[in-house]
Chain A
Amino acid sequence: MDDIRHGDRVRVVKDEKEFLGVLMPSATDFVVIKLDSGYNVGFAPEGLKMALVEKGAPVTAERLPRPVRSELPRLSIISTGGTIASKVDYRTGAVTSQFDAEDIIDAIPGLAEIANIEGVMLYNILSENMRPELWSELALCVYNKVREGVNGVLVTHGTDTLGYSAAALSFMLQVPVPVILVGSQRSADRPSSDNVVNTICAAVAATSNLAGVFVIMHEDASDDACLVHRGTRTKKMHTSRRDAFRSVNAAPVARVNYHERSLQFLADRTSRGGCELSVRPKIEPKCALIKFFPGANPKIMDYYVKQGYKGLVIEGTGLGHVASDWIPHVKKTAAAIPVVMTSQCIYGKVCDRVYDTGRDLLKAGVLEGDDMLSETALIKLMWVLGQTSDRDEIRTCMKNDIAGEIAADETKTWGTFKELP
């Protein structure tokens, strides 16, 4: 059987009955054959005879060069993997990321009507495998593309950690063009995938009068419109729905009508060209997000400090609380590294002046995360620690808005670090 490979046409005989079909990869011990009807069926290997009928021809996809249309803007698609680029993996039988940027362009012909597209495949990972170092690379990749003169950038990304990556890029980049992160909740290999609507709407947003880092996904269960969310303000709020992404504590920036290929602004934003291109990709990965829960052991903080962590974000209860037995540990930790308080309520603002515990926390040296999402607060802390180790500067940065992550009207502090990397 050694010379028979997946994709070969074979004859199998089991219990005196013969079947013809193509040998398929199998995730179990069973031998899987694709019958001529297209159905896959499995045979237990015991007593199975298999013979080669014909070697399979390798599947080759033909690619035609795409004409450049000079009247259209230039967009770059940076592919990082995820459901938007996934099809079946025969190793596990499940969906994994296998498309590259060119595949995405081939799969979404409508893109060529909106812009001249160039594809870059940076990673091919599921988004749960994303890491802080990769954000830095991604930010530099976007920076280089924009410097080369593209009019907008699309980053295709798995939805699981799309919000984290959007926040990281928001802090790392100051861009005069739209940088749109887009994903899909239903895999690209199905006719009903949301990848087409999301990517088309992303291209519309990426060619619009907008600057900054945004996430675009379905507005609701229908394929009619997508919402443009600020990169620091969005969170995946549902495991599977197309409209899983919501803007939290802020209005979405715009709505894109898929059918009309049109964009309508819903909130204040920076216009295209409204800032200089700049990048600060350095990040301190040794930060952690700790979720408080009733009975949680405060020694967890001591552990992180001992492990050399440089900053902690606590996701507290309500207005930003932890149990009283945490206070001494918070105090000890905050003396060594920055500790930021956020709320597990998701919506609303942290306020530690209302209850005794809150006041004790402030005295213990906790920084209030304001109305930041806890994930955004973590990314911000990582990034700020990548820019400076000055405790006062860290405190100022964490309190002030840098990339739309806090509802504050204070001046943006993006470019004001004393110590540049």
Chain B
Amino acid sequence: MKEHDYKKVGLKAGVEIHQQLNTASKLFCSSPTELRETKDAAYEFYRYLRPSKSELGEIDRAAIEEGIGTRRFVYKAYASTCLVENDDEPPMEMNLEALKVALQIALLLQMRPFEQIHTMRKLVIDGSNTSGFQRTALLAVDGQVSLRSGPVRIDTLSVEEEAAQIVDKDVYSLDRLGIPLVEIGTAPDLRTPKMVKELALTIGTILRACRVKRGLGTIRQDINISIAGGARVEIKGVQALDLIEDIVRLEVTRQLNLLKIRDELQARGARVGNPVEVTSVFTRTGSNILKKKHVWGVLLPSFAGLLEKEIQPGRRLGSEFADRAHKKGVAGIFHTDELPRYGITEQETQSLLRFLEANSRDAAVILADESAKTCVEAISAVIERARKSIEGVPEETRRALDDGCSEYLRPLPGAARMYPETDVSPIALSQALIERIKQRLPEKLEDRTQRYKRDFRLNDELAQHIARSERNQLFEQVMDLWRGQDGSIAKDEAKDAATLVVRTLEGVIAELKRDGTPVDRLTREHILDVFRLVRSKTISKEGVPEVLRSLAECDTKTADNAAVELGFTMLSERELQAIVDDVVQSKLDFIKEKGVGAVGPLMGVIMKKVRGKVDGRLVNEVLQAKVLSVLQ
């Protein structure tokens, strides 16, 4: 994939991280925070939502676009669902456990909590909240985290309600609704895709030191991206960390391409026409998509050829227009750059262009629907997007796609969607409470690094690496295998063991993944078992990668039988002596010629025979002794 010069394009990115908290109950009611199977739903009910005004009398533009009170939402409720989740009872006061965890996170991010926090209603009328809003409170501002490349400012931390899980179009499951989460927003301080990913990883590590939920879907990133001359675009719902760099890179690609298209459109003096009904052009069409439907279109003077311009892999300017039509309920659009196609003939295409009085430099977009009203709404949305393509990059919220591209979701929401939650009183955060939480903060990254250096004799680089890693808890669990009855670690063994564990967790597993081994199937238990074998000297450290590979490839296997199958059970010292003897005897001339210098080459010969079955250091010891005795 093409790498941009991010400094030159002026990339500015910020991240919003949403992390679910692992509290016993939800943020504003006492229901459990466990997820359920949709098939276990006990009942369902149906609701409509409408945009309402903020206390300043405004209606949010994103809220208007999401719905106008005609979508009938289905809610799946469970035996554990309560009336607060059904929006049939006022909320309880804010869950104190959640508030404390959120404050802990804020303090770890060196943030400044407010003296009094106010629960707000953030208008969300896409159906994902029964109430039509998400309850949220801004807790703290002004923090920072350090990345390798320097500090990044953390602007805001809010504690808020998780939305209901969508299970089908306009069908939501209430199990997830109301689980407490923290939303952490960084300043637009990130300058490369790599920094964005590192930021996400670093905050992820800090979060995991606190009482947060783990696993797929419990943490999500929204990324705000802009480039010089472009616009702020928020890409929502990035779950896989591996995708972050692609998403940033491809959004930069998108904005650069949109800017190129803008320049071209401006140079050509392109314009955008008005909605025109073109049903009459297609009265006798053979195209199933247009048949017996209203067809509306718009003329785009001087747009010819540009709708086919690729702006992200597989996505064109036409896709951006189509996204807008989708939001209004129309399946797709057709534009003259791609016609004749889809059963629309060359003749019809020409009639359309004639009907719209187009010339060869022009393009046209058409769309069809059973409802004329939907057609007008959809073509108007396309027209709005087309106008913006002459201006440049539109500010908007987009949804991340699995390939790192994104599609239009809605306009950026404004402050008008905030309304005070009158059913919940403001909470004063006393200095005493803050102090209490400060005194019981989980270990800081620097402290953990120092502890690893001290306890395990890790060098600075490895200690920093594992302290920062999301696998640091697993590392500590593995190292517990080396602890004696009194909990202490034999320092001489610790260094080798810790180095091996870090290299395995942070290097070997990634290498195996690169080679195509399904390492995602390795469980915590697998890894602990493998190191149990190392600890008991059943296998040597050289055997670890192969045993892990074997376990990942066959999930019914245990570490023990994988080691036996691979022949990786350790040689006894006597067996090793015999092998070394053999080699030394066969190479007597070589030894006499090279002297002690023969040890190196002979090590290679012996290791070939015993790799995985004995520790290399022991081989070296035995070999040196033998060589010396021969020389004497």
Contact B133 A190 (CB under 8 A): yes
A126 within 8 A of B: no
Closest to A93 in B: B422
Q: Could you tell me if B123 and A221 are in contact, using CB atoms closer than 8 angstroms?
A: no
Structural contact, B142 and A222, CB atoms closer than 8 A: no
B426 contacts which chain A residues (CB < 8 A)? 27-28, 30, 32, 42, 93
Interface string of B75-103 (1 = CB under 8 A from A): 00000000100111110000000000000
Q: With A88-B422, A93-B422, A221-B45 as known contacts, state yes or no: A191 contacts B417, CB within 8 Å.
A: no
Q: Which residues from A are CB-within-8-Å of B121?
A: 190
**With A38-B415, A196-B50 known to touch, is A61 a contact of B57 (CB < 8 Å)?**
yes
**In the complex the two chains form, is A39's CB within 8 Å of B418's CB?**
yes
Point out which of A15, A27, A40, A185 has the most chain B C-beta atoms below 10 A from its C-beta.
Answer: A40
Interface digits, B89-131 against A, CB 8 Å rule (1 contact, 0 not)? 1100000000000000000000010111110111101000011
Tell me whether B56 is interfacial, beta carbon within 8 Å.
Answer: yes
- Complex CA–CA separation, A411 to B226 (angstroms): 79
Structural contact, B138 and A35, CB atoms closer than 8 A: yes
Are A38 and B142 in contact, CB atoms less than 8 angstroms apart? no
Question: What chain B residues lie within 8 Å of A37 (beta carbons)?
Answer: 138, 156, 415, 418
Task: Determine the chain B residues whose CB is within 8 A of the CB of A36 once the complex forms.
Answer: 415
Q: Give the shortest distance, in Å, between A355 (CB) and chain B (any CB).
A: 39
Is B202 interfacial (CB 8 A cutoff)? no
CB 8 Å contact bits of A338-351 with B (1 = contact, 0 = none): 00000000000000
Contact A223 B47 (CB under 8 A): yes
In the complex, per-residue mask of A186-199: 1 if CB is within 8 Å of any chain B CB, else 0: 11111111001100
In the assembled complex, A242 has its CB within 8 A of some CB on chain B:
yes
Contact A220 B117 (CB under 8 A): no
Chain B residues within 8 Å of chain A by Cβ, number = 56
Interface residues of B in 142-160 (CB under 8 A from A): 142, 156, 158
- Scoring B46, B87, B131, B141 by chain A CB atoms within 10 A of each residue's CB, the highest score goes to B87
Whether A94 sits at the interface, judged by CB under 8 Å, is yes
CA distance A185 to B136 in the complex (A): 23
Binary per-residue interface labels of chain A (14-39) against chain B in the complex, 1 for a CB within 8 Å, 0 otherwise? 11010000100001101010111111
Given contacts A88-B55, A191-B132, A242-B88, contact A40 B115 (CB under 8 A): no
Q: Does A95 contact B (CB under 8 A)?
A: yes
B351 at the interface (CB under 8 A from A): no
User: Which of chain B's residues 403-428 have a Cβ closer than 8 Å to chain A?
Assistant: 414-420, 422-423, 425-426, 428
Partner of A39, one of B50, B133, B158, B422: B158
B307 within 8 A of A: no
CB distance from A113 to the nearest CB of B (A): 13
Docked-complex contact B47 and A240, CB < 8 angstroms: no
Asked whether B131 lies within 8 Å of A93 as measured between CB atoms, the reply is: no
Assembly CA distance A194 to B363 (angstroms): 47
B138 touches A95 (CB 8 A): no
Chain A, range 151-204, C-beta contacts under 8 Å to B: 185-193, 196-197
**In the complex, chain A residues whose CB is within 8 Å of the CB of B49:** 191-192
Across the two chains, which residue of chain B brings its CB closest to A48? B115
Interface string of B414-453 (1 = CB under 8 A from A): 1111111011011010000000000000000000000000
Count of A residues near B, CB < 8 Å?
47
Q: Is B543 on the interface with A (CB-CB < 8 A)? A: no
Cβ of A43 under 8 Å from chain B: yes
A44 within 8 A of B: yes
Nearest-Cβ distance from residue A391 to partner chain B, whole angstroms: 47
A44's contact among B115, B132, B136, by CB below 8 Å, is which?
Answer: B115
Report A46 CB to chain B, min CB distance, Å: 9
Smallest beta-carbon distance B161→chain A, Å: 14
Collect the chain B residues with CB atoms within 8 Å of residue A38's CB: 54, 120, 122, 414-418
Q: Which residues of A contact B89 (CB under 8 A)?
A: 239-241
When the two chains form the complex, which single residue of B72, B87, B418 contacts A192, counting CB atoms closer than 8 Å?
A: B87
What is the chain A residue whose CB lies nearest that of B53? A189
- Kindly list chain B residues whose C-beta atoms are within 8 Å of the C-beta of A186: 87-88, 131
Chain A residue numbers with a CB within 8 Å of B72 are 223, 259
Chain A residue with minimal CB distance to B155?
Answer: A37
A41: Cβ under 8 A from any B Cβ? yes
CA A88 to CA B422, docked complex, whole Å:
7
Known: A17-B142, A37-B138, A197-B48. A191 touches B57 (CB 8 A): no
A61 cross-chain contacts in B, Cβ below 8 A: 57
In the complex, residue of chain B having the shortest beta-carbon distance to the beta carbon of A37: B415
Q: Is A224 an interface residue (CB 8 A)?
A: yes
CB < 8 Å neighbour of B47 from A40, A42, A192? A192
Are B116's CB and A28's CB within 8 A? yes
CB-CB nearest in chain B for A187: B422
User: Which residues on the B side are within 8 Å of A189 (C-beta)?
Assistant: 52-53, 419
Contact flag A40-B118 (CB < 8 Å), given A30-B428, A240-B89: yes
A267 at interface (Cβ–Cβ under 8 A)? no
* CB <8 Å contact, B117 and A17: no
Asked if A420 lies at the interface with its beta carbon under 8 angstroms from chain B, I say: no
- Taking each of A17, A61, A88, which has the highest tally of chain B beta carbons within 10 Å of its own beta carbon? A88
Shortest CB-to-CB span from B163 to chain A, Å, is 14
B residues less than 8 Å from A40 (CB atoms): 118, 120, 418, 420
User: Interface centre among B47, B420, B422, B428, by most A CB within 10 Å?
Assistant: B422
Q: Which of B347-376 contact A (CB under 8 A)?
A: none
CB closest residue in chain B, given A189: B52
Per-residue contact bits, chain B 507-538, to A (CB 8 Å; 1 contact, 0 not): 00000000000000000000000000000000
A17 to B443, CA, bound (A): 28
A221 to B45, CA, bound (A): 6
Q: Are B52 and A59 in contact (CB under 8 A)?
A: no
Give bound CA distance, A190 to B116, whole Å: 24
CA distance in complex: A122, B423 (Å) = 27
Which residue of A is nearest B67, CB measured?
A191
| Contact partners of B45 in chain A: CB under 8 A | 220-222
- Is the beta-carbon distance between A94 and B422 smaller than 8 angstroms? yes
Answer yes or no: B69 CB below 8 A from chain A CBs. Answer: yes
A61 to B51, CA, bound (A): 16
Contacts A28-B426, A38-B418, A41-B118 hold; do A17 and B112 have CB atoms under 8 A apart? yes
- Decide yes or no: A240 and B90 within 8 Å by CB, A88-B422, A192-B131 being known contacts: yes
A223: shortest Cβ distance to chain B, in Å?
5
A-B contact pairs, 29 of them (CB 8 A): A17-B141, A28-B426, A30-B115, A30-B428, A32-B426, A34-B56, A34-B418, A37-B415, A37-B418, A39-B120, A39-B158, A41-B117, A42-B117, A43-B115, A88-B419, A95-B422, A95-B423, A186-B87, A189-B52, A190-B132, A191-B49, A191-B52, A191-B131, A192-B47, A192-B49, A193-B52, A221-B45, A223-B46, A240-B88
User: 5 tightest A-B contacts by CB?
Assistant: A191-B132, A42-B116, A38-B418, A38-B415, A39-B138
Given contacts A28-B116, A42-B428, A191-B132, 12 further A-B contacts (CB under 8 A): A14-B115, A15-B112, A32-B426, A35-B138, A37-B418, A38-B416, A38-B417, A40-B120, A41-B114, A191-B125, A192-B131, A241-B83
